[in-house]
Amino acid sequence: MTARIEYRTIHGYRRAFRIAGEGPAILLIHGIGDNSSTFDEIIDELARDHTVIAPDLLGHGLSEKPQADYSVAAFANGMRDLLVVLGITRVTVVGHSLGGGVAMQFCYQFPRFVQRLVLVAAGGVTTDVNPVLRLASVPGVPLLLRGLRLPGVAPLVRGTARSLARIDDLPALPERLTPRAMITDHQDLLRIVDELTDPHAHAAFTRTLRAVVDWRGQTVTMLDRAYLTERLPLLVVWGSKDTVIPVHHAALTGAAIPHAQVEIFDGAGHFPFRDDPRRFVDLVLDFIATTEPIEFDPANWHALMSAGQRLDEMVGDDDLLGEIFEALETERSVS
C-alpha cells in the first residue's frame, strides 16, 4: 500500500496531504520547516488497518506558501478544516515537534474530533529549545539564512555536517557537547535546510518560527491547559539524544499529565519515528489497540474548565514539580 498525494483548496489556498488506507483515522502533523514526507517510513504500516492523513502544513512542502497566519492556533484550524472537507470526524492525532504543539492546540480547540493524542518530541512544554532556533528568530538573522540559496553553500553545509558526524568523541568534552552528539539529527535537519533554499518556503519558515520562538525560547507552551487531557489517552515519545528539544521535556509532560504513557527511544534524536520506524509503528498501533477512544462530553469539559488546573494532581519529585511550577509562572509573565 502506497500513500498518494492529494490536494484540496480551502479558503482559497491549495493544501497538499498524503493519504492511505481505510479504517479509523490517524492524523500525522509534521514539524517546522518539514513536510509530510518525513512520515514516509511509517505511513504504509499504519495504513494497513487505518486511514492515515499526513498534511503539509500551510507554508510547508507542497502546500501553498502565502503571507498568512502561521500561528499554532491557525495551524490547528487548518487541520480541522481539512478533516471537515475530507468528511472525517474522529481522529487519533500524532504530532511531531511543532506538530506536537499544533496537536495539543487541536485537542483544546476541537475536542469533539479527538480520540487519542500522541506527542513526539513535542514543542510547547517549556521555553527550552535549541539555541540555533532562538537565534534564527531574532530580526535580521533570517536574512543570513538566505545565503543558503547562493551556489555551492548548501552542499558545503551538508559536507561539513557529515564530516563532524564522523568525528570520534573528544576526551576533553562531555559526550553531549561532542560534534557527533550536537548534530545527532544532521541528515533530517539538512533535508529541512534544503527546503529553505526556496524563497517562499524560507519566508513561511521565518513567519512560523517567530510565531512560536523568540530569543528567550519557545513562546507558546501547553502546561497551563494540560489538565484538559484528563480523560484523553496520551502517548509521549522522545529520543534520548534529541538536540532540538530536550528529552527532559518527556519527564515534565509525564509529571504534568500523570496518566500519560512515556516512551524514550534510547540513542534516537529528534526524529524517533525515523530512527526506529518499526518500533514506533508497533508502539502507536499497540497504544491504539489497548486504549478506548475518548468520547467528547460537554458536561465534563465544562467541569474541567470551571475547576481549572489542579497542581496537587501532578506527580514527581520536588525538583521536577518545581520546574513545572516555574514554567507555569513563566507562562503567566508578561515580561
Query: What residues act catalytically?
Result: 97, 242, 270
Look-up: residue for cell 508502539?
A: 283
Cα–Cα separations (whole angstroms), residue 324 to 108, 249, 328: 20, 10, 6
Q: What is the CA radius of gyration of the chain?
A: 19
Nearest-angstrom CA–CA distance, 74 and 61: 17
Q: Which residues pair with 95 in a beta bridge?
A: 29, 119
Burial class (CB in 10 A: 0-12, 13-18, 19+), 331: middle
Q: Tell which residue, 156, 72, 68, 162, has the closest CA to residue 109.
A: 72
DSSP category for residue 335: -
Nearest-angstrom CA–CA distance, 273 and 204: 25
DSSP 291-327: SPPP---HHHHHHHHHH---GGG--S-HHHHHHHHHH
CB-CB contact of 178 with 169 (8 Å): yes
